[in-house]
Amino acid sequence: MRYVILLLLALLPARVWAEGIDFSYDPTLIEVDVELALMVDVSRSMTTHELDIQRHGYAAALTSDAVMDVIAQGFLGRIAVTYVEWAGPGSHRIVLDWTTIGTLPEAEAVSAILMNTQPFGMQRTSISSALDYAAELIENNQYQGLRRVIDVSGDGPNNSGAPVVPSRDRVLAQGIVINGLPLMTDEGVGSQWTVNDLDAYYRDCVIGGHGAFVVAVHSWDEFASAVRQKILMEIASAVPRIQHAEMIVPVAGTAPGTYDCMAGEKTWDRFRQNWEP
């Protein structure tokens, strides 16, 4: 497999060589096309129905013909995936530890784990904590991917723990791409502390890295197809990860007039003040 990596490097444009790429080979690690950390919001604003839809959506996506086909078409023909539920600072639950998917039986085994574990809600929303935790999982796993991706979903902005932007920037500095799945649905009990344009918040404050994108979910009826499309895009974009800082810092959030990345904290503070005696 090492020769596959070297061949890919030989085909890269000269400008990429000049920018610099981290492709140090470690024979103790398992090579995959993508290291994909699925970070799934289970904060208390999510209903039991929503939690159930999320599990079903991810399980169906990972076993779909479309996803299996794009995995097979990768350079190495396999990905590594972990599935983590998150909420407030330090509230993380690994539902699926790192495992490879390269065949349908492997994908079905992953799906079975997701379907057979009962989700439960946790308090608050700390996207920053979820990003830091996901980056740590990626850095310390047993895989070496051509691309490293955090796929984070959520139904509200960061409102607890550290601010999201410094966490985002730390993750990007490690050459990890962050993609977002903002859940902009009407169901749930957290409408009083979310934002109407959550997709814009994710665009400017959460995602980043080479080829990063947001897929917004406006109705739970479209969740399964949105997840499938998002995972397809993440796997199909399996290209060598670029480490140069200027190429991984996102443009979003740097121009005047873009989203207030502390909007979630400010909304929560107003909500708390209204309820405190």
Q: Is 128 part of any domain?
A: yes
Nearest alpha carbon to residue 73 among 81, 65, 61: 65
Domain count, the chain: 1
What mean pLDDT comes out for the span 160-167? 92
Beta bridge partners of 177: 149
pLDDT of residue 7: 45
Beta bridge partners of 94: 84
Is the model more confident about 96 or about 263?
Answer: 96
pLDDT of residue 76: 95
Is the model more confident about 60 or about 2?
Answer: 60
What mean pLDDT comes out for the span 95-104? 97
pLDDT of residue 121: 60
25 pLDDT band, cuts 50/70/90, is low
Mean pLDDT of all residues in the chain?
A: 80
239 pLDDT band, cuts 50/70/90, is very low
What mean pLDDT comes out for the span 188-208? 77
Is the model more confident about 82 or about 218?
Answer: 82
pLDDT of residue 192: 54
Q: Is 268 part of any domain?
A: no
For strands 79-86 and 30-41, give the pairing.
Answer: parallel
Give the 3-state secondary structure of residue 102: coil
193 pLDDT band, cuts 50/70/90, is low
Q: Is 23 part of any domain?
A: no
Q: What is the pTM of this model?
A: 0.82
Side-chain half-sphere of 173: how many Cα atoms within 13 Å? Answer: 8
179 pLDDT band, cuts 50/70/90, is very high
Residue 77 has pLDDT above 90, yes or no: yes
Q: How far apart are CA 98 and CA 82, in angstroms?
A: 5
Tokens 């981290």, residue located:
22
% pLDDT > 70, the chain: 75
Helix or strand (DSSP H, E) at 33: strand 30-41
Number of other residues whose CB lies within 10 A of the CB of residue 198: 24
Q: State whether the Cα torsion 269-270-276-277 is positive or negative.
A: positive
Helix or strand (DSSP H, E) at 71: helix 65-72
Q: How far apart are CA 258 and CA 169, in angstroms?
A: 17
Q: Is 95 part of any domain?
A: yes
Residue 38 has pLDDT above 90, yes or no: yes
Q: Is 262 part of any domain?
A: no
Q: Is 233 part of any domain?
A: yes
Q: How far apart are CA 54 and CA 41, in angstroms?
A: 9
Give the 3-state secondary structure of residue 205: helix
User: CATH number of the domain that 50 lies in?
Assistant: 3.40.50.410
Q: List the domain range (segments joined by +) for residue 63.
A: 29-250
> Is the Cβ–Cβ distance between 187 and 48 less than 8 Å?
no
At residue 167, what are phi and psi to the nearest 5 degrees? -65, -45
Nearest alpha carbon to residue 148 among 36, 44, 27, 30: 36
Tokens 């090492």, residue located:
2
Q: Is 212 part of any domain?
A: yes
pLDDT of residue 271: 60
Q: Is 246 part of any domain?
A: yes
Sheet holding 79-86, edge to edge: 92-101, 79-86, 30-41, 143-154, 177-182
Residue 250 has pLDDT above 90, yes or no: no
Number of other residues whose CB lies within 10 A of the CB of residue 5: 17
